[in-house]
Amino acid sequence: MNDAKAIRGRLSASLRSGEKISSIQPELVARGRWFHGDWPEGLRAGLIEPRSGYQFRPENVTLASLLASRTHSRVLELGCGTGSLLLLASYFFPAAQVLGVELQGELVDCLGRS
C-alpha cells in the first residue's frame, strides 16, 4: 500500500460527523509558482476539515508562496485553522520548527487527527 493510500485510510477512519477530507492538490500550488519537483503523496492524501466554516482554499497558496522566497528556521502561524499551510511549510522547510496557534477547539482537533 502506498503512503497516500495509508494516510487516506487513517484519515477516513478518524472522520467524525460533519467533517470531510480535503486534498491539497499540486495544481493549485503550481499556479502559485512555488511548486517544484515531486508532489508529496502525504499532502495529496489530504487533511480533515469541518464541512462548514474554515476550509483550505486556493488563495491560501498565496500566503505559502511568500514563505518560499527565503529559507526559514522557524515558522509560526497564528490562526492556523486545520493546518493546511503548516503541512505545506513542514514539507518545504523540513529543518524548520513549525508551530501553529488556533483558538477554535474543533479546528485544533481536526489538525491533531490530520
pLDDT digits (tens, 9 = 90+) for 45-100: 677 888 887 677 666 666 666 666 677 788 899 999 888 888 878 877 788 899 99
Average pLDDT rounded to a whole number, residues 23-34:
58
Q: Which residues contact 13 (CB under 8 A, 6 or more apart)?
A: none
Count of domains forming the chain:
1
Question: How many C-alpha atoms does 23 have within 13 Å on its Cβ side?
Answer: 14
Lowest mean pLDDT among 25-29, 42-46, 102-106: 25-29
Please count the other Cβ atoms lying within 10 Å of the Cβ belonging to residue 2.
Answer: 9
Q: Is 99:34 a contact under the CB 8 Å cutoff?
A: no
Contact 43, 24 (CB under 8 A): yes
Find the domain containing 58 and state its range.
Answer: 3-113
| pLDDT attached to residue 34 | 47
pLDDT at 100: 94
Q: How confident is the model at residue 104 (pLDDT cuts 50, 70, 90)?
A: very high
Contacts of 4 (CB under 8 A, 6+ apart): 41, 42, 44, 45
